[in-house]
Amino acid sequence: MLTGRQTLGTIEQALSDLRREESELSQRIERATRGLTDLQERQTEAYRDLARFHLDNDAAGALNTRLDSAAREARRLLEKRTADYKVLSDQLRQCESERSALHARRQKLDADRDTAENQMDDLLEAVDSRLEGDDAFQRQKAAVERAEETAAAAAAKAETSEADRLEKGKAYEADPLFLYLWDRGFATPSYDKRGLTRSLDRWVAGLIGYNAARANYAMLTGIPERMAKHAARCAEIADQEQAKLAELSRNAMTDAAGTDLVGSIETLSGEIDSIDGDLDQLDRRIETLAGALAEFASGEDNDFQKAEEHLASSLKMDALNDLWRAAIETPSPEDEKIVQRIEDFKDRIEQVAREVRQDRELQRDIGRRRAELADVVKRFRSNGYGSWETTFSDDRLTTVLLGELVKGAISGAEYWDRAQRSHKRRRPKGRRVAFPKGKGLPRSMGGFGGIPGPGGFGGPGAGMPGGNDGFGGGGFKTGGGFGGGGFKTGDTF
pLDDT band at 182 (very low <50, low <70, confident <90, very high): confident
Q: Do residue 239 and residue 314 come from a single domain?
A: no
DSSP conformation class of 393: S
Q: Do residue 146 and residue 29 come from a single domain?
A: no
Listed residues 239, 257, 275: the one ending a domain:
257
pLDDT band at 323 (very low <50, low <70, confident <90, very high): low
pLDDT tens-digit profile of 193-208?
A: 888 888 998 898 888 8
Asked if 66 and 314 count as a contact pair (C-beta separation under 8 A), the reply is yes
Residue that wins the pLDDT comparison between 296 and 401? 401
- Give the neighbor-by-neighbor strand order of the sheet with 423-425: 2-3, 390-392, 423-425
pLDDT tens-digit profile of 340-397?
A: 777 788 888 889 888 888 988 898 899 899 889 999 998 998 888 988 989 999 999 9
**Of 185-194, 223-232, 304-313, minimum mean pLDDT range:** 304-313
Average confidence (pLDDT) over 67-83:
69
Among residues of the chain, what percentage have pLDDT more than 90? 36
Burial call 469-479: b when 16+ CB within 10 Å, e when fewer: eebeeebbeee
Q: Do residue 152 and residue 251 come from a single domain?
A: yes
Question: Quick one: residue 476, left, alpha or beta (phi over 0 = left, psi -120 to 50 = alpha)?
Answer: beta
Q: Do residue 427 and residue 281 come from a single domain?
A: yes
Asked if 320 and 47 count as a contact pair (C-beta separation under 8 A), the reply is yes
Best CA proximity match to 13, nearest among 24, 1, 3, 21: 21
Helices (H), 301-397: 302-315, 318-329, 333-382
Q: Determine what percent of the chain falls in helix, strand and coil, rounding each to the nearest 5.
A: 75, 0, 20
Q: What amino acid is encoded at 97 in this protein?
A: S
pLDDT value of position 312: 54
> How far is CA 48 from its chain centroid?
59
pLDDT value of position 73: 66
Average confidence (pLDDT) over 442-460:
55
Q: Give the count of beta carbons closer than 10 Å to the beta carbon of residue 255.
A: 12
Best CA proximity match to 361, nearest among 454, 291, 272, 298: 298
Residue 17: inside a domain, yes or no? yes
Residue 479: inside a domain, yes or no? no
24/236 Cα distance (integer angstroms): 58
Residues in the chain: 493
77/82 Cα distance (integer angstroms): 9
Q: Give the count of beta carbons closer than 10 Å to the beta carbon of residue 158.
A: 27
Helix (H, G, I), strand (E, B) or coil at 49: helix
pLDDT band at 466 (very low <50, low <70, confident <90, very high): very low
Burial call 104-139: b when 16+ CB within 10 Å, e when fewer: eebeebbebbbebbebbbebbebbbebbeebeebee
Residue 488: inside a domain, yes or no? no
Q: Do residue 116 and residue 197 come from a single domain?
A: no
pLDDT band at 326 (very low <50, low <70, confident <90, very high): low
Listed residues 216, 238, 257: the one ending a domain:
257
Q: Do residue 340 and residue 276 come from a single domain?
A: yes
Angle at 483 between CA 482 and CA 484, to 5 degrees: 100
Number of domains within the chain: 2
Q: Give the count of beta carbons closer than 10 Å to the beta carbon of residue 209.
A: 19
Q: How confident is the prediction for the chain on average, in pLDDT? A: 80
Average confidence (pLDDT) over 84-102:
88
Best CA proximity match to 430, nearest among 449, 445, 450, 413: 445
pLDDT value of position 399: 93
pLDDT value of position 68: 61
Residue 484: inside a domain, yes or no? no
460/158 Cα distance (integer angstroms): 6
pLDDT value of position 419: 94
Domain that holds residue 139: 135-257
Q: Do residue 172 and residue 199 come from a single domain?
A: yes
Q: Do residue 248 and residue 267 come from a single domain?
A: no
Residue 481: inside a domain, yes or no? no
Q: What amino acid is encoded at 101 in this protein?
A: A
pLDDT value of position 293: 80
Residue that wins the pLDDT comparison between 244 and 479? 244
Residue 491: inside a domain, yes or no? no
Q: Do residue 143 and residue 107 come from a single domain?
A: no
**Of 63-77, 271-285, 321-335, 454-468, minimum mean pLDDT range:** 454-468
pLDDT value of position 373: 93
370/491 Cα distance (integer angstroms): 68
Q: Do residue 154 and residue 290 come from a single domain?
A: no
Best CA proximity match to 73, nearest among 308, 319, 349: 308
Asked if 7 and 418 count as a contact pair (C-beta separation under 8 A), the reply is no
Q: Do residue 301 and residue 175 come from a single domain?
A: no
80/68 Cα distance (integer angstroms): 18
169/154 Cα distance (integer angstroms): 22
Residue 474: inside a domain, yes or no? no
pLDDT tops 50 at residue 476: no
pLDDT tens-digit profile of 227-284?
A: 999 999 999 999 999 999 999 999 999 999 999 999 999 999 999 999 989 988 998 8
Helix and strand numbers (H, E) in the chain are 12, 3
pLDDT value of position 437: 85
pLDDT band at 40 (very low <50, low <70, confident <90, very high): confident
DSSP conformation class of 476: -
Residue 482: inside a domain, yes or no? no
Asked if 29 and 301 count as a contact pair (C-beta separation under 8 A), the reply is no
Asked if 113 and 4 count as a contact pair (C-beta separation under 8 A), the reply is no
Helices (H), 55-134: 57-132
pLDDT value of position 172: 87
393/81 Cα distance (integer angstroms): 51
pLDDT value of position 55: 47
Residue that wins the pLDDT comparison between 53 and 123? 123
pLDDT tops 70 at residue 462: no
Considering all CA atoms of the chain, what is the largest pairwise distance in Å, rounded to the nearest integer?
129
